[in-house]
Amino acid sequence: MDLELFKELIFNVDWNERWLWGLGGFHATTLTAILITRGRPYVQAVIFCLLAILCFSSEYINEWAANNYQSVCFDV
């Protein structure tokens, strides 16, 4: 990827949107939990299973959110 395109992408993103901060927070929390539980394979297996369930159910979550976006919108 061209460096100029990457810079343009970074500058064009509205970093004040709450869902973007929430997504970053989720990833930071997940990474922290994984790093803290490095020596506990059973705990990491549970984290993996929870993330796998979340991934497999993402289509249903997206469908539900699309149908109810006005009632769950962050900026209301």
b/e burial code for range 35-44 (CB count within 10 A of at least 16 → b): eeeeeeeeee
Q: Would you say 41 and 31 are in contact if contact means Cβ atoms under 8 Å apart? A: no
Segments making up each domain of the chain, as ranges: 3-72
d(CA 10, CA 5): 9
Q: Would you say 47 and 37 are in contact if contact means Cβ atoms under 8 Å apart? A: yes
Q: What are the C-alpha distances in Å from 3 to residues 8, 9, 10, 15?
A: 9, 10, 11, 20
Token reading at 58: 């993402």
Q: What is the pTM of this model?
A: 0.70
What would the pLDDT profile of 33-74 be if each residue is shown by its tens digit?
999 999 999 999 999 999 999 999 999 988 888 887 766 555
Q: How confident is the model at residue 17 (pLDDT cuts 50, 70, 90)?
A: confident
